[in-house]
Chains A and B, each alone.
Chain A
Amino acid sequence: MRILDFLDKDCIELDVKSKTKKEVIEELVEMLVKKGVILDRKTTIDSLMEREELGSTGVGQGIAIPHSKTKGVKELIAAFGVSKAGVDFDALDGEQVNIFFLLLAPEGAAGLMLKALARVSNFLKNKYYRRKILAATDKAAVIQTIEEEEKTKQEPLLFCPGEGPG
């Protein structure tokens, strides 16, 4: 699975303006709405906020990966945002969050979501790529960074369950 399979260039925002968790999520979802991949805006946002209540998806090091399996979408999609100022996202390490990677998958697509999350977290775990993302001045630089990282990943040799939906 490649990140660029579910992240579209149009769904990247390098200048996130929002100042709160709710606003950030709304701003990111809005990009997907414009792209026409969201079936129901409210359901989508509600389910993302519900997930945040179980525990913040701000996983530390200035990264947040808000995600949800929801009726609001019919395929795995993502939105990417960078806030230069940083947002208080209740992150688990208490730091401000700068990089947002929002993931949505259809209800019941647990395997797909699991795979995508691991892929994203594996990418953002690396300090080198985080720095490059923060330094990016245009969307192409972000895409380039992701491509660079994905080249280092070999496709697994064995069949992986969860490639299909659910």
Chain B
Amino acid sequence: MNYSIEQILFIGALLAIAAIFASKISERFGVPALLLFLGIGMLAGSEGPGGIFFENIALSKFVGIIALVFILFYGGLDTRWSSIKSVMKEGIAVATIGVIITAGTLGILIYFFLKLPFMQSLLLGAIISSTDAAAVFSILRSKGISLKGRIRPLLEFDSASNDPMAVFLTMTLIRLMTAKGVSVPSLLPELLLQMGVGFLAGVLGGRLVIFIINKINLYYEGLYPVLVVTMALFIYAGTTYIKGSGFLAVYIAGLVVGNGRMIHKRNIVRFNESIAWFMQIVMFIVLGLLVYPSRLLPVMGQGAVAALLLMFVARPLSIFINLSFSGYTVREKLMISWVGLLGAVPIILATFPLAAGVEGGEMIFNMVFFVVLLSALFQGSTIAFVAKLLKVNAPLSEQRKYPLEFEQMAGIDADLNEVIIPFGSDVAGKRVFELGVPQGCVITMISRGENFIIPNGTTVLEEGDVMLVMAEKEAVKQLEAGVAKQKEAVKGNS
């Protein structure tokens, strides 16, 4: 059946709006938003009351990849470097070796318990071995859940960075199943190369974004976030083109950009947050449309077994092996095992064998879909409960409601102080953001000669400018010290 553009837009908009309303439900009842989005897609789909026929696997994969790029990029943007630094070692272990252990164990268990062909079992294990950043981030950041200490940073780091490994395992297995003459040992250097190139491209790409943003001096402010968004796609595609892991690159780039110093940063982060949300909604609705609930029925039994093996054996085993020498307690490890939420990535990955025409591909897709549903529903909605049970929950008051809305506001000690840009100061001729304005310090106004200027990050400072600064004493001292530095070789002449 063919739809007109207006029909597609009308229905699409309606579904997206429904999804946004549904997010309110997710917030209140702790049901993962992705489940509701999927549900809306399924209801609208060919077997639901909506009756929309949609079976375009290539388009689904395309949407899935774009969505993943922005979800990962935003995941990086929103991650404070200081919070993941402490979990770096463990995070990398869990995201790489951990995925291999989970995938391998699960594949072998599935082979024994479900009596599927060996390669198909391994493929299934690989596809559902990576936890989903979108699901984990949205659940850990929702109201009502707060975890102690180093659990959350590890989970976020892991979920955001384990996709490349799962993608790699999946593609490798598909290659082994469809092509002749590919041997496992020859693939190992390729993996290392993908990771290395992905990492490097991410770091360089992120630096490039910061550099361009700070130097380009665009006339239209609205273009800055657009530039960043397109750069994210560029980094993903470019890295993939030079045989690196694009997903890893885009996450690392987000991390670099999110922790860098640049103008319009808040706008840029906010814009990307919106894009990430929008892409999530689109992606899950599309995936919901793509699936036929009736085809899930025959695999329900097997799917449930696979899901249980993953939740209770493979993932905990992998976590406990990887974290055996870390400072995490048994309770914390159990908690980390439980937040092995699956989401979009496995479903997107499950479209790969389908697209490659692997034997049993459709069965795998349906099973993966069902396992993801179970994981999101069962693990996703019990995280708060399990956290309480394991006593690893933190008081809720520490939760920020809108992580991006406000910057740390100065305390009651804050006062209005005048700071003069000294004659011959090194900061004269530079822009406000280059000052490195200390935390809790707001430059509210700049007085220059006869004029008042309401500054933004790009306002160029001149010597003799008087800044009205709202800050507490320590921050003013820092700022004073910052502007005090003299330009070289200008003493005695201005």
Residues of chain A having any CB pair with chain B under 8 Å: 1, 51, 54-57, 59-61, 63, 65, 67, 69, 92-93, 95, 110, 113-115, 117-119, 121-122, 124-125, 127, 153-156, 160-162
Contact = CB atoms under 8 A, between A and B. Distances in A.
Contacts of B483: 92
12 contacts: A55-B480, A60-B424, A61-B423, A63-B423, A92-B422, A92-B425, A93-B423, A117-B420, A118-B447, A122-B450, A160-B451, A160-B452
A161 B452 contact: yes
Contact of B450 (A121, A153, A161): A153
A117 B466 contact: yes
Contact of A117 (B418, B422, B480, B494): B418
A118 B451 CA distance: 9
Contacts of A113: 418
Nearest to A93: B486
Contact of A121 (B420, B451, B476, B484): B420
Nearest to A63: B423
A155 B449 CA distance: 11
A54 B417 contact: yes
B386 to A, nearest CB: 50
Nearest to B473: A54
A55 B494 contact: no
B435 to A, nearest CB: 14
Interface string B405-419: 000000000001111
A156 B450 contact: yes
Given A54-B477, A60-B425, A93-B491, A114 B450 contact: no
A1 B449 CA distance: 10
A117 B447 CA distance: 8
Contacts of A60: 422-425, 486
A117 to B, nearest CB: 4
Contact of A156 (B451, B466, B481): B451
Given A60-B425, A60-B486, A153-B450, A65 B420 contact: yes
Contacts of B481: 55
Contact of B464 (A55, A121, A127, A161): A121
Contacts of B486: 60, 92-93
Contact of A61 (B449, B452, B494): B494
Given A61-B492, A115-B447, A117-B447, 14 more contacts: A1-B450, A55-B484, A59-B423, A59-B464, A92-B425, A93-B422, A93-B424, A114-B418, A114-B468, A118-B448, A118-B450, A119-B449, A125-B464, A160-B451
A123 to B, nearest CB: 9
B465 interface: yes
A125 B423 contact: yes
B338 to A, nearest CB: 51
B463 interface: yes
A148 B188 CA distance: 79
B493 A121 contact: no
B171 interface: no
B445 interface: yes
Contacts of A114: 418, 445, 447, 452, 466, 468
A92 B448 contact: no
Interface string B388-432: 000000000000000000000000000011111111110000000
Given A54-B477, A65-B420, A117-B447, A127 B494 contact: yes
B449 A92 contact: no
Contacts of A117: 418, 420, 447, 466
Contacts of A161: 452
A119 B418 CA distance: 13
Contacts of A125: 423, 463-464, 494
Given A122-B464, A127-B494, A54 B476 contact: yes
B423 to A, nearest CB: 4
Contacts of A124: 464
Pairs of residues from A and B, 10 with the lowest C-beta to C-beta distance, nearest first = A55-B480, A118-B447, A121-B464, A60-B423, A92-B484, A59-B422, A125-B464, A117-B466, A114-B447, A60-B422
